[in-house]
Amino acid sequence: MSRDNVMAQINEQRVDLPCVDVVYPQVAGLSDKEVQSRINQMIEEQITDLLSEVDCADGWTATGRYSVEVNQNGIYSRVMVMIASLLCSSIC
């Protein structure tokens, strides 16, 4: 199968917790469900790893967004921007 025939849909997933607002992509509609599952698993593992460093109890917040691009060869590329910040507590 040539790359020209590969179609996919990108669905947004959201982690919405008191100190976390992260939106990330999930791939759907690939004919090769194993590849689709591996792509989504890698994305979810990266999100989980990033969020494991955010401690809401210590005043941290995390915001994340993404963009999806396809290069000139038709290959999927994802850019994830994650911002974690420490909110000023009463001792600031």
Annotate the chain with DSSP letters as a single string: --GGG---EEEEEEEEETTEEEEEEEEE--S-HHHHHHHHHHHHHHHHHHHTT--GGGTEEEEEEEEEEE-TTS-EEEEEEEEEEEPP-TT-
Domain assignment of residue 51, yes or no: yes
Dump pLDDT digits (tens) for 51-69. Answer: 888 888 877 788 888 877 7
21 has pLDDT over 80:
yes
Cβ-count burial of 80 within 10 angstroms (0-12 exposed, 13-18 middle, 19+ buried)? middle
Domain assignment of residue 91, yes or no: no
41 has pLDDT over 70:
yes
Domain assignment of residue 15, yes or no: yes
Domain assignment of residue 33, yes or no: yes
Domain assignment of residue 92, yes or no: no
Q: What is the pLDDT of residue 15?
A: 92
Range of the domain at 44: 3-86
Q: How many domains does the chain have?
A: 1
